[in-house]
């Protein structure tokens, strides 16, 4: 038996030589969940069942647990523990931790710390097994430091000074991730530059990977399918070409050599103009399997995205299902098909993607969006777990056990290969990490749900508020939780209620432009393709007499969605072109219900803002006023959405807007926010 007294700070020392503090000033807003809790430490003894090095990160965290002074660690857990843990308390002030993977020790330590900080008594024995094996953040970071749909500054990966100097933010980022169980990070944008795989960038990535390795995090890379050709090594990128296959095999060997914790590839192929196997008359399965073959010897996996749509099909919502279902059973065992929660694209509310469960012989993963591309960037508050839970908790009705999407995707189809869940990161080098001062709640919540998909949105919000506002009164935290919990439905109400979707301006996904018309643009990039407003009604007819997208859902969902009287009102205009006078469940007409929702959205934002105002003087003043300013902007923007959509649709409904409007439609049409895929709305972008 070996005895250790915890040594604190070792890991940070390792990096002292290679770190530069890229942000010398203190963070403006210290409200990340680990930044405000007291870290008072005491000496503890760690005893291990066999001679292993216990990471100083683990001993460091355990030394903050005030009711223990001895920890016995065993790594002899059975496979069912995965990278989870069991903790018992055989007697006073001693705990025993059983894990199978060493990362489980970090998670066990953070679990105890979280319970302590949240004021919850630990009830032993504790057994925690994560819902998903790979709990992944997908960064859409480009090699030039910009972030696609990123609203919190530039990339944390300071590519230009890597590999010699890594930003200190990377170490903190890894620690925050480990504290919530995130164990895999895709470093770069799915719109991948082939250069990600050149020698220079692999070396840079390896420095990041090394840091991550101390926190149990594996590195994945997004790859451009045409990389061997684009980098000049082959004449083709055909997945059945032997030279191409050999190139990928060598590349994986090189990556694995440089980064022992390299986990595999994420691929967006034949989507939005990117190259892919279809360019060579091959299938998605052919493409994915070529990469899978190269990764297989290293137990690596391919996450192959199902985000595909072409301009020609009659209904974009049907396309992923049409393209992927026929390929079921053809993917190699180490391929996971990664599917966005909804069939369009991260809208504030979508029906779930019918592809889930429709490929019983394929491992599938859900992709959620943490960055708020369609939910108000980093300007508007939108706590996203209620949206994610809607998808994760949806029953898919594909077999007798009626699994939910979370259940279906968290189970390993084959014992040897992992299950996964992915979230598109909202993190950048902004001083508060996520742009909006409260948006790190979404990062936290993604990790917690990936660890335990059955947690409720509300309980996660409470945890986050307790940790992040550790010094505040309980009533303050209750108010913050109340605000968070209202925020998603508020966004749906003032942006796109009742199943409306994609009413965004063409050049960005921030403000509304239901009228948008760009000559020559793809129809499925224009709002009118989705809302279909006319003198009869509003909404996309996806019933059996329309695009028949309902047929992609299993019974009884297909007929529930198909019937205008049974279709849930919150998805009415997703599945139906409903007449303006159609009576919804509240007894109101569709038009009146629409007005009611837009108005409710305005009122919700005003209410959240008023609740926030009551916190003045009770929390840090700078944080308070930062959020207050964001709410000022959010109130104006909610009004803009309300007026733009209702005034525009009123031209077709020809009915009054009971609550009235403030702006003039023609003036709104003439206004354009200057923004693109790489810039964020800022709270001062428009003078009113």
CB of 313 to ligand GCV, least distance (A): 16
Is 677 a binding residue for ligand GCV by CB under 6 A? The answer is yes
Site map 84..123 versus ligand GCV, x via CB under 6 A: ----------------------------------------
- Of the pair 268, 448, the CB lying nearest ligand GCV is at 268
| Helix locations, 214-343, DSSP H | 227-230, 242-258, 284-295, 319-324
| Backbone φ and ψ of 623, nearest 5° | -65, -45
Q: At what angle do helices 590-613 and 621-653 cross, to 10 degrees?
A: 170
Closest CA to 366 of 322, 410, 321: 410
Minimum CB separation from ligand GCV for residue 686, in Å?
Answer: 22
Instruction: Give the interface segment with ligand GCV, choosing from 185-193, 209-217, 240-248, 283-291 (CB under 6 A).
Output: 185-193
Q: 148 or 628, CB closer to ligand GCV?
A: 148
Residue 191 touching ligand GCV (CB under 6 A):
yes
**Cα angle 637-671-644, degrees, rounded to a multiple of 5:** 50
| Interaction between residue 433 and ligand GCV (CB under 6 A) | no
Q: Using CA atoms in the order 623, 629, 631, 633, what is the torsion angle rounded to 10 degrees?
A: -150
Catalytic pick among 296, 373, 489, 541: 373
Cβ atoms within 10 A of the Cβ of 656, count?
Answer: 11
Q: How far is the CB of 279 from ligand GCV (least distance, A)?
A: 17
Of positions 190, 252, 291, 384, contacts ligand GCV by CB under 6 A:
190
- Piece in contact with ligand GCV (CB under 6 A), picked from 69-77, 91-99, 188-196, 658-666: 188-196
Among 268, 349, 377, 436, indicate the residue that binds ligand GCV (CB under 6 A): 268
Q: Which of residues 27 and 529 has its CB atom nearest to ligand GCV in the complex?
A: 529
- Could you give the C-alpha distances from 498 to 140, 492, 598, 662, in angstroms and in order? 30, 8, 10, 23
Query: Nearest-CA neighbor of 363 among 330, 396, 391, 386?
Result: 330
Task: Report phi then psi at 26, rounded to 5.
Answer: -65, 155
Q: Which of residues 345-404 bind ligand GCV (CB under 6 A)?
A: 345
Q: How many residues bind ligand GCV (CB under 6 A)?
A: 11
Please, which residue, 307 or 383, has the CB nearer to ligand GCV?
A: 307
Verify binding: residue 82, ligand GCV, rule CB under 6 A: no
In the complex, the smallest distance separating the C-beta of residue 541 from ligand GCV, rounded to whole angstroms, is 24
Q: How far is CA 681 from the centre of its chain?
A: 20
CA-nearest of 322, 315, 398 to 357 is 398
DSSP character at residue 556: T
Only segment of 186-194, 239-247, 406-414, 609-617 that touches ligand GCV (CB under 6 A): 186-194
Q: Which of residues 581-640 bind ligand GCV (CB under 6 A)?
A: none
Considering only the stretches 189-197, 473-481, 517-525, 626-634, report the one whose residues sit in contact with ligand GCV under the rule CB under 6 A: 189-197
For residue 167, the SS3 value is strand
Angle at 610 between CA 607 and CA 611, to 5 degrees: 85
Site string for ligand GCV, 130-169 (x = CB under 6 A): ----------x-------xx--------------------
Hey, how many other C-beta atoms are within 10 angstroms of the C-beta on 144? 11
Catalytic (active site) residue 373 = yes
CB of 550 to ligand GCV, least distance (A): 24
Nearest approach, Cβ of residue 491 and ligand GCV (Å) = 17
Q: Which of 141, 296, 345, 541 is catalytic?
A: 345
Tell me whether residue 148 is one of the annotated catalytic residues.
no
Peptide bond into 163 cis (omega under 30): yes
Is 76 one of the annotated active-site residues of the chain? no
Cβ 274 to ligand GCV shortest distance, Å: 8
Catalytic annotation, pick one of 243, 272, 517, 621: 272
- Determine if 502 is a binding residue for ligand GCV (CB under 6 A): no
Beta strand pairing call for 94-99 and 85-91: antiparallel
Residue 610, classified by CB atoms within 10 Å of its CB into exposed (0-12), middle (13-18) or buried (19+), is exposed
Backbone angles phi, psi at 529, to 5 degrees: -60, -30
For residues 217 and 646, what is the distance between their CA atoms, to the nearest angstrom?
47
Of 187-195, 375-383, 455-463, 587-595, the window that binds ligand GCV (rule: CB under 6 A) is: 187-195
d(CA 334, CA 300) in angstroms, rounded, equals 7
Sheet of 45-48, strands arranged across? 2-5, 45-48, 70-74, 94-99, 85-91, 126-128
| Contacting ligand GCV within 289-318 (CB under 6 A) | 307
CB of 140 to ligand GCV, least distance (A): 5
Of the two residues 210 and 268, which places its CB atom closer to ligand GCV in the complex?
268
DSSP strand pairing (134-138 vs 420-424): parallel
CB atoms under 10 Å from CB of 412, counted, come to 14
Stretch that binds ligand GCV, among 92-100, 183-191, 393-401, 643-651 (CB under 6 A): 183-191
Residues found near ligand GCV in the complex (CB under 6 A): 140, 148-149, 189-191, 268, 272, 307, 345, 677
Catalytic residues: 272, 345, 373
């Amino acid at each position: 038996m070996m005895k250790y007294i915890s040594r604190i700070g070792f890991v940070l020392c390792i990096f002292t030589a290679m770190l530069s503090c890229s942000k010398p000033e203190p963070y403006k807003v210290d409200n990340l969940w680990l930044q405000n809790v007291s870290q008072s430490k005491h000496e503890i003894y760690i005893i291990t069942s066999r001679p292993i090095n216990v990471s100083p990160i683990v001993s460091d965290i355990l030394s903050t647990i005030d009711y223990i002074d001895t920890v016995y660690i065993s790594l002899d857990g059975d496979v069912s523990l995965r990278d989870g843990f069991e903790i018992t308390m055989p007697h006073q002030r001693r705990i025993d931790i059983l894990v199978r993977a060493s990362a489980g020790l970090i998670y066990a330590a953070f679990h105890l710390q979280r319970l302590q900080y949240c004021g919850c008594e630990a009830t032993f024995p504790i057994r925690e097994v994560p819902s998903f094996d790979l709990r992944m953040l997908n960064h859409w970071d480009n090699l030039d430091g910009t972030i696609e749909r990123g609203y919190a500054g530039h990339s944390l990966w300071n590519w230009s000074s890597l590999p010699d100097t890594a930003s200190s933010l990377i170490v903190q980022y890894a620690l925050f991730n480990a504290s919530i169980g995130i164990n895999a990070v895709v470093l770069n944008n799915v719109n991948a530059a082939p250069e990600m795989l050149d020698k220079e960038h692999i070396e840079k990535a390896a420095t990041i990977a090394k840091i991550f390795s101390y926190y149990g995090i594996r590195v994945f890379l997004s790859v451009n399918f045409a990389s061997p050709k684009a980098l000049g090594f082959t004449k083709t990128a055909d997945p059945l070409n032997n030279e191409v296959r050999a190139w990928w095999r060598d590349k994986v060997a090189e990556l694995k050599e440089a980064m022992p914790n390299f986990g595999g590839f994420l691929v967006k192929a034949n989507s939005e103009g990117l190259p892919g196997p279809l360019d060579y008359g091959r299938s998605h399965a052919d493409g994915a399997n070529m990469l899978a073959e190269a990764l297989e010897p290293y137990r690596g996996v391919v996450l192959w995205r199902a985000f595909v749509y072409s301009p020609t099909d009659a209904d974009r919502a049907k396309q992923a299902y049409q393209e992927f279902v026929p390929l079921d059973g053809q993917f190699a065992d180490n391929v996971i098909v990664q599917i966005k929660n909804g069939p369009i694209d991260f809208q504030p509310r979508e029906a779930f993607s019918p592809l889930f469960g429709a490929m019983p012989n394929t491992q599938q993963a859900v992709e959620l969006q943490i960055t708020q591309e369609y939910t108000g960037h980093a300007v508007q508050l939108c706590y996203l777990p209620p949206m994610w839970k809607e998808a994760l908790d949806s029953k898919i009705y594909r077999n007798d056990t009626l699994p939910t999407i979370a259940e279906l995707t968290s189970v390993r189809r084959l014992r040897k290969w992992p299950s996964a869940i992915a979230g598109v990161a909202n993190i950048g080098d902004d001083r508060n990490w996520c742009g909006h001062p409260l948006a790190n709640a979404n990062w936290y919540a993604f990790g917690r749900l990936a660890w335990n998909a059955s947690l409720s949105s509300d309980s996660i919000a409470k945890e986050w508020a307790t940790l992040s506002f550790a010094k505040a009164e309980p009533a303050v935290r209750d108010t913050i939780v109340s605000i968070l919990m209202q925020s998603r439905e508020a966004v749906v109400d003032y942006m796109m209620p009742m199943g409306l979707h994609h009413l965004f301006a063409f050049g960005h996904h921030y403000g509304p432009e239901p009228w948008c018309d760009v000559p020559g643009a793809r129809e499925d990039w224009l709002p009118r393709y989705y809302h279909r407003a006319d003198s009869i009604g509003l909404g996309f007819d996806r019933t059996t007499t329309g695009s028949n997208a309902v047929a992609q859902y299993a019974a009884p969902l297909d007929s529930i969605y198909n019937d205008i009287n049974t279709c849930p009102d919150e998805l009415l205009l997703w599945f139906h072109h409903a007449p303006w006078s159609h009576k919804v469940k509240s007894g109101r007409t569709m038009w009146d219900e629409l007005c009611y929702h837009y108005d409710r959205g305005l009122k919700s934002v005003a209410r959240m803002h008023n609740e926030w105002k009551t916190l003045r003087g009770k929390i840090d003043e700078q944080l308070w006023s930062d959020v207050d300013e964001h709410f000022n902007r959010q109130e104006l923007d909610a009004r803009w959405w309300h007026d733009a959509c209702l005034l525009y649709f009123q031209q077709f409904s020809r009915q009054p807007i009971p609550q009235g409007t403030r702006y003039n439609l023609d003036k709104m049409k003439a206004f354009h926010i200057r923004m693109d895929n790489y810039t964020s709305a800022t709270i001062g972008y428009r003078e009113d």
